[in-house]
Amino acid sequence: MTARYITTPIYYLNGTPHLGHVYTTVAADVLARYWRLTGADVMFLTGTDDHGQKVAQAAHEAGESPQAYTDRLSIVWREMSDRVNASYDVFIRTTEERHYKAAQTLWEKLEAAGFIYRDVYAGWYALRDEAYVEEADIVDGKAPSGAPVVWVEEPSFFFKLSAFQKPLLDYYEAHPDAIGPVGRRNEVISFIKGGLRDLSISRSKFDWGVPVPGHPGHVMYVWIDALTNYITALGYPDTHTEDFKKFWPESIHLMGKDIIRFHAVYWPALLMGAGLTPPKRIMAHGWWTNRNEKMSKSVGNVIDPFQLIDTYGLDPVRYFLMREVPFGQDGDFSEPALIGRLNSDLANDLGNLTQRVLSFVHKNAGACIPTPGEFTPEDRELLAKAAHLHETLHDDMAVQAFHAYCQHIWEVIGEANRYVDAQKPWSLRKSEDPADHTRMNTVLYVLMEVIRHAAIYAQPVMPSSTGTILDQLAQADRTFEGLKTPLKAGVFLPEPSPVFPRIEVRLR
Ligand code: MSP
């Protein structure tokens, strides 16, 4: 059976979720739901990154102990996952006992293999990014991300990252799909080709982290501990658990482009050093910007996802996030764009089509799925387009092209809208000729079959609204496999009601 391990980054607990975070979680959820519908064995992991200096500082500012603060904030983040209807299987926290064990074992393996040595780190550190910054990369006294830097000088353990330049290049050469999108892959490869410096992997000036085994006074650099979460959740250090055997390395790590280096350079090197296989795919999305500036708490320009959800509904917001911007590229958020998209794609295209067809059937075709007559070439063409979605959508999901996934479904919905206008079932109904009535039933049947396909395929993106449409179509089997069996005629339908209301914008 196909196995898919889908992960979000674990979120820092120094603040509350904004639209950028919701984006990663929703994308991962869409992927997880899609693979489940194909019948694959799926594990979807998300959680929180409890450690590090940044979180410790946030706790201090809140006047709480790091433990109490992270206990409180972790719940807020978990609620975010629930509010966006993320179907995660495991919600991990890096303060869990099992995670300490996993991170410490990974460390011990690396140490035993000779990849860790003791020295002193003297250099720049960007607290906001929890990242070491090279002197040469500092622009106007700041990290390339714009984060302020501070000088750090402390005894530290180092990981021999430099030893992994060739293994990493060989790995990426042999696995061209391991990093997406292609532009990011090229960036990572040229970064590795530029030479890798050993990485400082412990901190000794504060203690909010996983203790380094055997070396009191040191805690692990937060990224080393954080990355390990992906295998903790599978049972590591035990590599013989059912989950580990099934899901490693069948992983798709989703994240924003700002943290690809940690995932595509450090993480595979750490795994190789400990004798484990690198992840199968690392996929980086772009940033949501607000007036062309990256949305971030420190800039103070964040969009509150919950306010959007309260105003427009969860599924419409999920749809907008997935459809509007090609996954991998940056996108500028604007409420007019959101409203435009919801009105055109959801209220007009899918909503109206469904409502028109179902209420027509309710009134004029005995409120049940009509029995079709002979199909015309136009009918066959439209039915074939719906049936072919299967391969197209599979290809889209294989590269996490969520926008294309939606676009392809909506192309067929557009065809169905053109078809209904051309076939005019309402005129057929008025005819005295019984042949026209049979034709009307055929047209309605074809339309309902297309709506069934669209709703079933759109489930990963809009799980609840598509559920309502499928309820109205009286469809119990909502799997992709079920689409291989043609829509059954003669099934009674409940009374339909509109699923996607039009958003009226009040002029201020
Ligand atoms: N804790 C680390 C991840 C460790 S994973 C082993 C971290 N956390 S984070 O909370 O800062 O960010 C989590 C995710 O949110 C990242 O994928 C990041 O790119 C994403 N986003 C944060 N702001 C964003 C936007 N403005 N737009 C899109 N995504 C952005 O990094």
Name which of 96-100, 233-237, 292-296 the model is least confident about. 292-296
Distance 320 CA to ligand 1 centre (A): 19
Q: What is the pLDDT of residues 352-398, one digit of tens each?
A: 999 999 999 999 989 999 999 999 999 999 999 999 999 999 999 99
Whether the per-residue pLDDT at 241 is higher than 80: the answer is: yes
Ligand 1 atom with the shortest distance to the CA of 288: 27
Task: Determine the pLDDT at residue 495.
Answer: 95
**In whole angstroms, what is the distance from residue 13 CA to residue 107 CA?**
24
Q: Is the CB of 318 under 6 A from ligand 1?
A: no
User: Residue 11 CA: which ligand 1 atom is closest?
Assistant: 10
CA nearest to 361, candidates 477, 202, 496, 485? 496
Three-class SS state of 14: coil
Among 85-99, 294-308, 330-344, the minimum mean pLDDT is found in 294-308
Q: Which two tokens stand for residue 38?
A: 């194909």
Per-residue pLDDT at 507: 55
Q: 48 alpha carbon to ligand 1 midpoint, in Å? A: 11
pLDDT digits (tens, 9 = 90+) for 183-219: 999 999 999 999 999 999 999 988 999 999 999 999 9
263 CB near ligand 1 (under 6 Å)? no
pLDDT of residue 227: 98
DSSP single-letter state for residue 128: T
Task: Kindly state the DSSP code that residue 345 receives in the 8-state scheme.
Answer: I
CA distance 300 to 15: 12
Instruction: Give the type of residue at 463.
Output: P
Q: Whose CA is nearest to atom 16 of ligand 1?
A: 256
**DSSP codes joined into one string, 417-464:** HHHHHHH-HHHHHH-S-HHHHHHHHHHHHHHHHHHHHHHHHHTTTSHH
Question: What is the pTM assigned to this prediction?
Answer: 0.97
Which residue from 258, 265, 302 has its CB within 8 A of the most atoms of ligand 1, so it is best to mutate? 258
Give 322 Cα–ligand 1 centroid separation in angstroms.
17
Average pLDDT, the chain: 96
- What is the structure's pLDDT at 3? 97
**C-alpha of residue 95 to centroid of ligand 1, in Å:** 19
111-153 per-position pLDDT tens digit? 999 999 999 999 999 999 999 999 999 999 999 989 999 999 9
Expressed in angstroms and rounded, the spacing between residue 217 Cα and the centre of ligand 1 is 29
| pLDDT at position 60 | 96
pLDDT-derived band at 181, boundaries 50, 70, 90: very high
CA of 303 to the centre of ligand 1 (A): 15
- The pLDDT confidence band at residue 294, using thresholds 50, 70 and 90, is confident
Residue to substitute in 6, 13, 18, 24 for testing ligand 1 pocket (most ligand atoms within 8 angstroms of CB): 24
Would you say residue 298 has pLDDT above 80? Answer: no
The pLDDT assigned to 505 comes to 78
Tell the residue nearest (CA) to atom 13 of ligand 1. 11
Indicate the SS3 state at residue 115.
coil
Nearest to 318 by CA among 296, 293, 345: 345
- Give the list of residues 6+ apart from residue 357 with CB closer than 8 angstroms, or none: 420, 444, 447, 448, 451
Q: C-alpha distances in angstroms, 494 versus 200, 270, 366, 487?
A: 63, 56, 11, 16
Q: Cβ(102)–Cβ(245) under 8 Å?
A: no
Q: How far is the CA of 288 from the centre of ligand 1 (A)?
A: 11
CA 122 vs CA 10, 19, 161: distances in Å: 28, 36, 17
Between the CA of 11 and the centroid of ligand 1 the distance, in Å, is 7
CA distances, 194 to each of 178, 190, 426, 450 (Å): 20, 6, 67, 52
Regarding the beta carbon of 290 and ligand 1, being less than 6 Å apart is answered no
* Residue owning the nearest CA to atom 14 of ligand 1: 21
Parallel, antiparallel, or unpaired: how do β-strands 202-203 and 179-180 relate? unpaired
Give the whole-angstrom CA distance, residue 432 versus residue 411: 34
| 499 three-class SS | coil
406-435 average pLDDT score: 96
Confidence of residue 266 (pLDDT cuts 50, 70, 90): very high
**Most informative mutation of 6, 11, 210, 285 for ligand 1 (most atoms within 8 A of CB):** 11
Whether residue 292 has pLDDT greater than 80: yes
Q: What is the CA radius of gyration of the chain?
A: 26
- List the residue whose alpha carbon is closest to atom 5 of ligand 1: 9
What is the number of the ligand 1 atom nearest to the C-alpha of 294?
A: 26
CA-nearest residue for atom 21, ligand 1, is: 20
- Determine the pLDDT at residue 291: 83
Q: Is 294 in the pocket of ligand 1 (CB under 6 A)?
A: yes
Percent of the chain whose predicted confidence (pLDDT) is above 70 = 99
Q: pLDDT of 463-504, one tens digit each? A: 999 999 999 999 999 999 999 999 999 999 999 999 999 998
pLDDT in tens, 14-33: 888 999 999 999 999 999 99
Q: Is 283 helix (H, G, I), strand (E, B) or coil?
A: strand
Report how far residue 91's alpha carbon sits from residue 41's, in angstroms, rounded to the nearest whole number: 18
- Say yes or no: CB of residue 253 within 6 Å of ligand 1: no
In the three-class reduction of DSSP (H, G, I as helix; E, B as strand; rest coil), residue 278 is classed as coil
pLDDT number for residue 297: 74
pLDDT in tens, 404-415: 999 999 999 999
Q: What count of residues does the chain have?
A: 508
Round to whole Å and give the CA distance between 14 and 16. 7
Please state whether beta strands 281-285 and 150-159 pair in parallel, antiparallel, or not at all (unpaired).
unpaired
**C-alpha atoms less than 13 angstroms from C-alpha of 410 in its C-beta half-sphere:** 22
Query: CB burial class (10 A; 0-12, 13-18, 19+) of residue 172?
Result: buried
297 C-alpha to ligand 1 centroid (Å): 11
Q: Is the pLDDT of residue 508 over 60?
A: no
In which band, very low, low, confident or very high, does the pLDDT at 304 lie, cut at 50, 70 and 90?
very high
pLDDT tens-place string over residues 57-76: 999 999 999 999 999 999 99
Rounded to the nearest angstrom, the distance between the alpha carbon of 255 and the centre of ligand 1 is 7
Q: Helices 402-423 and 434-458 sit at what angle, rounded to 10 degrees?
A: 170
